[in-house]
Amino acid sequence: MYWTLELASYLEDAPWPANKDELIDYAMRSGAPLAVIENLQQLEDDGDTYESIEEIWIDYPTNEDLFFNEDEFSGKNPKKFLRK
């Protein structure tokens, strides 16, 4: 099972919380690629519900992971260059 941001994006509007069968049904009805459906079919079916994509893809990047502070890397942060 492999996930990418593109594949995971097909589950953004899924009816969370949802169990495995509900997610597969949603993916099929929404026209998700076969790779998404195959990934969902590989999930363990213990009857539990999944609250979000983070429970399916443990390494799902959050907004914090994607945050980029432009000032920190561009030299535009004047505090960075002040001497004490």
Say if residues 46 and 21 touch (Cβ distance below 8 Å).
no
Rama region for 8: left / alpha / beta (φ>0; ψ in -120 to 50; rest): alpha
Per-residue model confidence (pLDDT) at position 84 = 52
Chain-centroid distance of CA 30 in Å reads 17
pLDDT digits (tens, 9 = 90+) for 58-69: 888 875 545 555
pTM of the model: 0.72
Angstrom distances, CA of residue 57 to CA of 2, 50, 75: 9, 11, 35
pLDDT in tens, 7-52: 999 999 999 999 999 999 999 999 999 999 999 999 988 888 999 9
Q: Beta partners for 50? A: 18
